[in-house]
Structure 1
Amino acid sequence: MLRNDFVWGVATSSYQIEGKDEKIPQGECVWDTFIKKEGTIFGGHNADVACDELHKYKRDIPMMANLGIKAYRFSLNWARIIPDGTGKINQEGINYYREVLELLNKYNITPYITLFHWEYPQALFDKGGWLNPDCVEWFGEYAKVVAENFSDLCTNFFTINEPQCVINLGHSLGIHAPGVKMPIRETLQMAHNLLKSHGLAVKNLRKYSKKEIKIGYAPTCGVAYPSTDDPKDIEAARKVYFGFENDIDNWGWNVSWFLDPVVLGEYPKEGLEKFKNYLPKISPEQMKKDLELVNQPLDFIGQNIYNGYEIKALTNSKNNSYYERVERYPGFPKTSIQWPITPRAFYYGIKFLSEKYKLPLYITENGMACHDSISADGKVHDPNRITFLDSYISAMQQASDDGADVRGYFLWSILDNFEWANGFDERFGIVYVDYRNQKRIIKDSAFWYKNVIESNGKCLSINDKSNEIIVEDVSETNDYMSLSENETIKFNTIYINDNIDCIKEGLTFIVYEGNAILNSSVLYKGAKVSVPKGLTDICLLGECDIKII
């Protein structure tokens, strides 16, 4: 089971939900500039209104409280607080975020502030952005302002969200703001500067906060997960997950390069070797100082996990590879955004991260994009999202049961919102937003999540014991009956006494090898099973023999 003090929350980012208002002036961020370029955003959408959270927070926060939400991770728009990125502070921006924090505290929703969720001030990008060495001091100054103005109302902070996306999507592929394609050497320099910025932000948050605070960091990456639970597959997946198997052009999709310096105080040797022809020229003495800055003590780490890829160990590979990446079968389940649905990746990502970095772990983002719509009854039914969330959160609990120190889960997202380059085409929220009128409709998944929170996960399928099979010794019994093709029976639980492997939607049969159970699964009480045409051929060793328990 999950900890009694497990943190159940939801997450958003400022640019994706807030919109704009002349009464709360702000400087432009790189996304404001990027969306003006033709062809950058699906449908020509923009975030000028988004979810209108600048005005709707007074309604949305009580709604969150009614849904049982205990914690809310949201980001500050750097350019709303310091319009030029440095220098003069915008008091209207400060006042807005203080009002949000005060209302969250009033409704007993614990705030978790993210300093940077991609809202980089355009004025600073024009000066070189993350490539300018001064960016470290810029971000440190911003962290100081945040600590001085909000630490009396918030005691939990994350510095940077998904640095891998900042580097890869924004500065390598150019499909996110600021939309540039930099050479590898420059993106590696940017990554180093970004990590130093994180370190100075941690120092300044602690130095200038008005009370004791806790600080984390929220990177991401797809998870390499093992094809089976064979130790060889597990170790191969672990090695791939923390390794450097990507080609050099995709170097930024990496876990260790963005976490090892932060938590362990050094860059991984495998990465230093792979990137040696592209690394910035930094003296050993300076690198030591840089890493001391990066390696500030953290109270926890976050990780955004949505999906992964399957890995199988190889022993006699012709190309000396220790693994192969298993291809997904045709029709592999995916979300509407075409991300694979892989709860097994969630389990192993949590387990691998906890085992390596040995810090409390928070899942800072996880959720599912669906093509939700309003039904004839005026409601939004999203059973696919409920199934997704149940499978992932159950996997998280299993990882916790197996020793992972996972402390909290922030569902992405409370609201449908501006999904970056995809505009408003994808809906991740458990609350539907009608962008024509800003009406909110609570989806079925939100009510389901409320039950999860109230029960601390006890209502998850992993904990549902009502239909649990009681495995009995059937080695000496012969009280089986034959089930003819298409014959229907009622049962509580059945055993099938042949070495078969057949799964029908909604039913998983027990598989034997001799008298040994290879696989067992719950069958629902009072259900009816009809043997599909051809099943008796699959079950051959005679008839399809079953035992009714």
Structure 2
Amino acid sequence: MRFPPGFRFGMATSAYQIEGAWDADGKGPSIWDTFAARPGTIRHGEDAKVAIDHYHRYAEDVTHIAEAGVHDYRFSISWPRALASLDFYDRLVDELLAAGVRPVPTLYHWDLPQDLEDKGGWLNRDTAHRLADYTSAVVLRLGDRVRDWITMNEMNVQTLYGYALTDHAPARGLGLEALPVAHHQLLAHGLAVQVLRTHDAGAIGIANQHFPVHPASEDPADAYAAEMFRELTNWTFSDPILLGDYPGEMIRAGVGTSGAQLDRDLELIGARLDFYGVNFYEPTAIEAPREGKDYAGVLEVDIPEGMPFSPVPVKSDERTDFGWAIVPSALTEILVTLHERYPALPPVIVTENGASFHDAAPGDDGRVHDPRRIAFLDSHLRAVQEAITSGVRVDGFYVWSAFDNFEWAAGYDERFGLVHVDFETLARTRKDSWFWYRDLIASQR
């Protein structure tokens, strides 16, 4: 595989999933600390108080990242930790730069401070302004060395899983009444961009999850249901950024802000970006609900009864051990769709792509053999190549994830990492996929 000159390979993680040290630096609780403390929320009753202890082992972890030859490391900053101290991120950024790796921090990756949730969380418009304040503090501390920023991660997942449903923190279960959460996160993005531009902070982007949504049949009812799901999960979170408005009147009316205020918000939200991050894992198939049909277990989360759309299994010859369909062509499809939908689409970076396979512990040879992950990454990088050939400007690809980690409500069963972590001893072992990725990067020189 050959990629255009300047194409940037990277790895990605998030703070809550790897840092541990949950109360170090005087860090207060996040909504995920609260959620994980409730019985029955996390598989096996696990939590992320230790996670993989990246907080104490960051120097070792940076070695694993840097020796793979990656150009960029995408990590997130814990908002609750940053409110108390940014010292850890000071050390991490210096360590990355000394190793020749470009730091690409994400300002918000789902770990909202619990005290803000107590005041309404993302249902409260003021939370967006609090994120702007936090952004200002971060850029003042790190902006002399960090020149690439991601504002928000997967606003659609936070809105759907955490506020519309109850599968992720903060488990509000509001259904379609969660739409104001989408708007306030988008507003937070716009305000963060404004702060970063004021400080001349460098390149700015966002990481949105996108995926093709197909109707399950040619039935017009299925087509309508798929289009509604597509708008709610894809375009609600990208149209305001890239077109300056919401995709339909139903959504525009449901976000809880209207009139001149909404117009002002949309102007902020639609501010110019330097790159657009796309997180991709699998496509989705949707049908109009059939009476009496059981739709449980099709997606990672179950869409409740009463919604005008229901998921059906995507046809796929192979699935990850998380049950996600492996369809590399869907990555090409969504990248081309974005290119065609948005005339002013900035250069794209695939900010997350990877797969969970339940890799065995290191064998007698000391290696972790994960051929399915290698095949997955190979096929998806070829899908990126196909999108580039089709005219999409893609400037980079970040593997999710650098390390096995705490996979949110799924606990520690799901292993996405290029580096295996023994969750009892915390020993790190580079998987075969790490060596494959290293060699691929080296071959581009």
Provide the rounded CA distance (Å) in 1 between the counterparts of 2:436 and 2:53.
26
Conserved? CA contact 1:301–1:361, under 8 Å: yes
Provide the rounded CA distance (Å) in 1 between the counterparts of 2:405 and 2:244.
36
Q: TM-score when scaled to structure 1? A: 0.72
Provide the rounded CA distance (Å) in 2 between the counterparts of 1:79 and 1:305.
27
Provide the rounded CA distance (Å) in 1 between the counterparts of 2:261 and 2:312.
42
Provide the rounded CA distance (Å) in 2 between the counterparts of 1:424 and 1:281.
37
Provide the rounded CA distance (Å) in 1 between the counterparts of 2:324 and 2:334.
16
Provide the rounded CA distance (Å) in 2 between the counterparts of 1:7 and 1:244.
38
Q: How does 1:161-240 map to 2 (within 5 A)?
A: 161-185=153-177, 187-209=178-200, 212-224=201-213
Aligned length: 415
Instruction: Name the CA shift for 1:35/1:283 in 2 (closer, same or farther; >3 Å).
Output: closer
Offset of 1:355 from its aligned partner?
Answer: 2.8
Aligned to 2:291: none
Q: Which of 329, 332, 344 is the aligned partner of 2:317?
A: 332
Q: Deviations over 1:212-238 (max 9, x none)?
A: 4010011113323799xxxxx9xx9xx
Aligned to 2:111: 119
- What is the identity, as a one-letter code, of the residue corresponding to 2:42? I
Offset of 1:282 from its aligned partner?
Answer: 3.8
Offset of 1:68 from its aligned partner?
Answer: 1.1
Aligned to 1:364: 351
- What is the identity, as a one-letter code, of the residue corresponding to 2:94? E
Larger of the two Rg values belongs to structure: 1
Instruction: Name the CA shift for 1:110/1:342 in 2 (closer, same or farther; >3 Å).
Output: same
- What is the identity, as a one-letter code, of the residue corresponding to 1:133? R
Equivalent position SS for 1:51:
coil
Offset of 1:35 from its aligned partner?
Answer: 0.4
Q: Which of 226, 230, 234 is the aligned partner of 1:245?
A: 226
Provide the rounded CA distance (Å) in 2 between the counterparts of 1:206 and 1:137.
16
Q: Deviations over 1:290-344 (max 9, x none)?
A: 1111111111110100111479xxxxxxxxxxxxx99655x73100000000001
Conserved? CA contact 2:214–2:226, under 8 Å: no
Aligned to 2:268: 293
Equivalent position SS for 1:365:
strand
Conserved? CA contact 1:74–1:113, under 8 Å: yes
Aligned to 1:263: 242
Compare the two structures and name the one with the higher helix fraction.
2
Instruction: Name the CA shift for 1:364/1:244 in 2 (closer, same or farther; >3 Å).
Output: farther
Provide the rounded CA distance (Å) in 2 between the counterparts of 1:254 and 1:21.
31
Conserved? CA contact 1:225–1:348, under 8 Å: no
Offset of 1:377 from its aligned partner?
Answer: 2.3
Identity %: 38
Offset of 1:194 from its aligned partner?
Answer: 1.3
Conserved? CA contact 1:164–1:221, under 8 Å: no
Conserved? CA contact 1:215–1:298, under 8 Å: yes
Provide the rounded CA distance (Å) in 1 between the counterparts of 2:121 and 2:313.
39
Aligned to 1:519: none
Offset of 1:413 from its aligned partner?
Answer: 0.4
Conserved? CA contact 1:365–1:410, under 8 Å: yes
Aligned to 2:374: 386
- What is the identity, as a one-letter code, of the residue corresponding to 1:359? P
Q: Deviations over 1:267-297 (max 9, x none)?
A: 12xx21x447x62454422221111111111
Q: Higher relative CO (CA 8 A, sep ≥ 6), structure 1 or 2? A: 2
- What is the identity, as a one-letter code, of the residue corresponding to 2:38? K
Instruction: Name the CA shift for 1:260/1:144 in 2 (closer, same or farther; >3 Å).
Output: same
Structure 1 residue ranges without an equivalent (≥5): 83-89, 228-232, 312-324, 459-549
Q: Deviations over 1:158-194 (max 9, x none)?
A: 1100000100000111110111112423x11121111
Q: Deviations over 1:426-484 (max 9, x none)?
A: 0000100001111001000000001111123x9xxxxxxxxxxxxxxxxxxxxxxxxxx
- What is the identity, as a one-letter code, of the residue corresponding to 1:81? A
Offset of 1:60 from its aligned partner?
Answer: 1.0
Structure 2 residue ranges without an equivalent (≥5): 287-310
Conserved? CA contact 1:9–1:411, under 8 Å: yes
Aligned to 2:427: 439
Q: TM-score when scaled to structure 2? A: 0.88
Alignment RMSD: 2.5
Q: Which of 432, 438, 450 is the aligned partner of 2:438?
A: 450
Provide the rounded CA distance (Å) in 1 between the counterparts of 2:395 and 2:214.
22
Provide the rounded CA distance (Å) in 2 between the counterparts of 1:413 and 1:192.
28
Runs of 4+ with deviation above 3 angstroms:
224-227, 250-253, 280-283, 325-329
Equivalent position SS for 1:245:
helix
